Chain A
C-alpha cells in the first residue's frame, strides 16, 4: 500500500459534496457544500484499486468527492474478514493531517463475521492542507460491524466519506465524533438492503471558533423489517457553522421498516450558523418514519440551577464540551483514535482537563504515549 498522497499543489473545486437524496430551495445554501482540494496528478503508476463490488456502494459524500479521493490516493487498501470470524484487532484507517493523508479503504465482512473499523483523523495540517478518507464496507448476511470515526484535527480541511451495504440480518453500529478541523465534510450512507438489517448511529460534535462542519447522513432502507436509529447531538460555539442533513429513505418494498432520527443542538456562540435538513422519504405504506430536532441554548432555569451550585455559564458549557470528549475517549477502541480524542481535548479544554479525562478512563496521563 502506497502511503503517500498523490495530489499536487494545483487545486480543483468539488462543487457538490454531501448532496442529500432530496434537495430543497437553493437559496438556503443547504443542499451541498463546495470545497477546493488539491488536483490529483497522473504519474503513470499502476495502483491497487478495490474489487469492483465496492463500486456499487453509495457513499454519503457523493460521487464527485468519492472519485476525487480514489484518484488522489495511492494504493487502495482492501481488508476481508472471513466468514464466521470475530476479528479482535480493529481495522484502523490512520489519517494524519500533517502529511495530508488521503486513503481509500474497502472492507468486506463475510457472512457471520464481526469486525471493528476505526477511522482516526488527527494532527495539524500544513497551510491549506487537505486530508481525506473514503471507506466502503460490505457487510454480508449476519455480519456485525462496529465503526468508530474520530475526526480530531487541530487545523486543516478534511473529507470523510463512508458507504455501507448491509445484507440480511447484518448489524451496523456507527459512532462518529467530529471534534475539530477548519472545514470538515463527513458523509455517510448506509444501505440496509437485506431483510432485518440494522443500523444504529450516534454522532457527536463540537464545532467552535470559525470551524465549519458539514454532515450528510443517508440511510436507504430497502429490506423488509429493517431498522435505523440515528441520534445526533452537539455543540456549536463562537462563530462556528454547521450543516446537518439527515435522510431516511424508506424504499418501496421495505415493509415493516422503521427509521428514527433525532438531533439535539446546543448553541453557545453568538455568531453561529446552524442549518439542519432532516428528511424522511417514504415510498411504502407499511413503514414508520420519525424525526425530531431540538435547537437551543441552555435554559435560564438550568443555568440558574447550576449557578446555585457554584457553576458558572462558561463552566456549564465547558462541562457539555468535556462530555463529548469523554464519550469519544470511552468509545475509541484502540490507542490511535483514543490519543486523537485526548490530544484534541488537550487543545480545546486544556491539559488539566484532558489529563482528568484520561485518568477517569484509567489510562496513562501521558497523552502522547497513548499513540
Chain B
C-alpha cells in the first residue's frame, strides 16, 4: 500500500474534530455567581428542595473544603484553578424530560451530535443526560423498570419517600467528605448525577449510560452517581463525558459511590474526553461483597489536569476486582491516573492492567496502590502497567505502591516504559504501510486490551479518539 498526499489527507479528514468541541449559547441560563459561599450552597440546596440532612451535609462539607489543604508533595499543579472564578451551578431553563423531543433544541442537538439518542435506541437499557449542572433527560426501557430497577436522578430519589431513606443510607458513606479537599467541595455543591438501584437477582441485558456535558465556560460540574447492586444482580453502567474547549479553567469534581453486594457484578465503563482546559478531579469508589465482582474499564483522553484513581474495597470473601485502563496524554495535558485496591478479606483477587500513551509534551503518571490487609488470607493481586512514549518531549511516570500485611498473600507487579521500536515500524512498512499508518496501528494494538472490553460503539469511539490524538503523528 503506497501512501499519497491525498490519502494522507483523507486519513486525517476522517476525524471530526467538531464532534466534541462545539459551544451552544448560554442565553437564558441560570448561572450562580462565581466563588464559593454558604449562600451559594444554601441556594443550590433550596433550588433542589432538599431534606434538611442534605443541607447540613453541604454546609459541613463547605467548612471542610475551606479547612483542608492540598498535598504539596505530589501530583500535577492545580494552582491555575481559582474557585473565585468558577461558577458552581449553571442550569439550562428546562425541566428534565423523558422524551428527546421535549428537550430544548440546542441541547438536543448537542446530544445528537454526541450520538446519545442513537446509542439509546440501539444498545442501552436507559440513559441519563446531564447538561451543565442539571440532568435534562432521563429515561429507561419499560421492561427494565418492570424488573424493579430504579434509574433516576439523585434529586428525584430524594423526593421519593420510598427511595429517600436508601439515598440517605448510602450517600456519602463510601467517599467521606474529608477524603480530600475536592471531595469536600463536591459534597458542598453537588448537583445532578444518577441513582441506580438493581434489585436482588436482577440482571440487565443492556447497559445503562449517563452522559455528562459541560457546556458553560468557567463553570464546574459536580454530579454524584450512586449505584446499589443488590445480591446476585448484574449491571453494566457506562459513563461518558465531554466539553468544548475554552481558555478559562473548568472544573469537574464528581463522585461515584458503588455498592456491589454479595454475588453481584458491576462493570463500570468510562470514556472521558473533557476539553483540555478542564481540571478533572474526580473520585470513584466501590465496595464489593462476598463472591462479588467489580470491573472497571476506563479510558481517559481529555482534560488539562486529571487526578483520577478509582478505588475498590474488596470487603467480602472471594470478591474480585478487575481494572482495565488507558490514558492518552497529549499537548498541554498532565494526567495523573491509576487506581487503588484494598484487599480486606480472605481469597480476594485483584487484577490491574493499564496502558498509557504520551505525545506532544503530554505528561502521564500512572499511580496505584494495592493494600493487602491482615484479614486477607490467600489474597492475590497483580498490577501491570505499560507506557508508550511517542516523542522525546513527553513524559511518563509510573508510581505504584504496595502495602502487604498478610504472610499468605501474593502480590505481583510489572511495569514497562518504552517507545515504538524501529524494528516494528520497519516490519510494517516493509509490508506496505506508511510510517504513520504503522505507528497508528501499533498504538491501536497497544490500546486493544482496553477497547476490546468496551461495547462495540464505545470501542469505535475510543479508537476514533486515539486516531484524533494521533493526528499529529499521522500528518
Contacts and interface: CB of A to CB of B under 8 A. Distances in A.
Contact of B414 (A25, A274, A292, A297): A292
Contact of A289 (B71, B399, B402, B418): B418
A252 interface: yes
Interface residues of A, number: 43
Given A23-B73, A276-B402, A290-B415, A295 B392 contact: no
Given A24-B369, A25-B369, A282 B413 contact: no
A285 interface: yes
B408 interface: yes
5 contacts: A280-B398, A280-B415, A281-B395, A287-B417, A292-B415
A296 B414 CA distance: 15
Nearest to A252: B392
Nearest to A299: B410
Interface in A84-102: none
Interface stretch (B76-84, B113-121, B383-391): B383-391
A141 B391 CA distance: 30
B400 interface: yes
B413 A278 contact: yes
B412 to A, nearest CB: 5
A292 B386 CA distance: 12
A297 B401 contact: no
**Which 5 residue pairs spanning A and B have beta carbons closest together?**
A296-B410, A285-B389, A289-B417, A293-B413, A295-B411
B226 to A, nearest CB: 24
A292 B400 CA distance: 11
A34 to B, nearest CB: 14
B400 A297 contact: no
Nearest to B179: A27
A288 interface: yes
A338 B387 CA distance: 43
Contacts, number: 135
Contacts of B95: none
A286 B405 contact: no
Interface string A109-145: 0000000000000000000000000000000000000
Interface in B359-396: 367, 369, 371, 374, 387, 389-392, 394-396
B407 A25 contact: no
B419 interface: yes
A26 B73 contact: yes
Contacts of B410: 294-297
Interface in A233-288: 250, 252, 255, 265, 267-288
A282 B73 contact: no
B335 to A, nearest CB: 15
Contacts of B369: 24-25, 28
B404 interface: yes
A206 B367 CA distance: 29
A319 interface: no
Contacts of B374: 271
A273 B415 CA distance: 23
Given A26-B74, A282-B396, A287-B389, 16 more contacts: A22-B399, A24-B401, A25-B71, A28-B403, A267-B404, A273-B404, A275-B402, A278-B415, A282-B389, A284-B389, A287-B419, A288-B418, A289-B417, A295-B409, A295-B412, A296-B409
A78 B399 CA distance: 37
Contact of B395 (A276, A282, A288): A282
A297 B73 contact: no
Interface of B: 71, 73-74, 367, 369, 371, 374, 387, 389-392, 394-405, 407-419
A25 B413 contact: no
B389 A24 contact: no
Nearest to B404: A274
Contacts of B394: 285
Contacts of A28: 369, 371, 401, 403
Contacts of B405: 272-274
A31 B389 contact: no
A252 B411 CA distance: 32
B413 A291 contact: yes
Nearest to B412: A294
B417 A277 contact: no
A325 to B, nearest CB: 22
Contacts of A279: 397-400
A287 B389 CA distance: 9
- Which one of B387, B390, B410 has the highest number of Cβ atoms from chain A below 10 Å of its Cβ? B410
Nearest to A19: B73
A286 B403 contact: no
Contacts of B407: 267-270, 272, 297
B403 A288 contact: no
Given A269-B407, A297-B407, A283 B395 contact: yes
A292 B414 CA distance: 4
Contacts of A23: 73-74, 399
A31 B73 contact: yes
Nearest to B368: A24
A297 B416 contact: no
Contacts of B411: 293-296
Contacts of B71: 25-26
A268 B412 CA distance: 17
B339 to A, nearest CB: 12
A256 B391 CA distance: 14
B421 to A, nearest CB: 10
Nearest to A28: B401
Contacts of A277: 399-402
B179 to A, nearest CB: 10
A284 B399 CA distance: 17
Nearest to A245: B401
Given A22-B399, A26-B71, A297 B408 contact: yes
A290 B414 CA distance: 7
A24 B74 contact: yes
A276 B417 contact: no
B417 A282 contact: yes
Contacts of A293: 402, 411-414
B361 to A, nearest CB: 11
- Which one of A24, A250, A290, A296 has the highest number of Cβ atoms from chain B below 10 Å of its Cβ? A24
A280 B397 contact: yes
A26 B414 CA distance: 23
Nearest to B359: A285
Interface in A283-326: 283-297
A218 to B, nearest CB: 13
A30 B405 CA distance: 14
- Which one of A272, A273, A285, A286 has the highest number of Cβ atoms from chain B below 10 Å of its Cβ? A285
A301 B396 CA distance: 39
A284 B392 contact: yes
A352 B374 CA distance: 35
Contact of B403 (A30, A282, A284, A296): A30
Contacts of B392: 252, 255, 284-286
A148 to B, nearest CB: 28
Nearest to A26: B71
Contacts of B416: 288-291
Given A24-B367, A282-B387, A30 B414 contact: no
B397 A292 contact: no
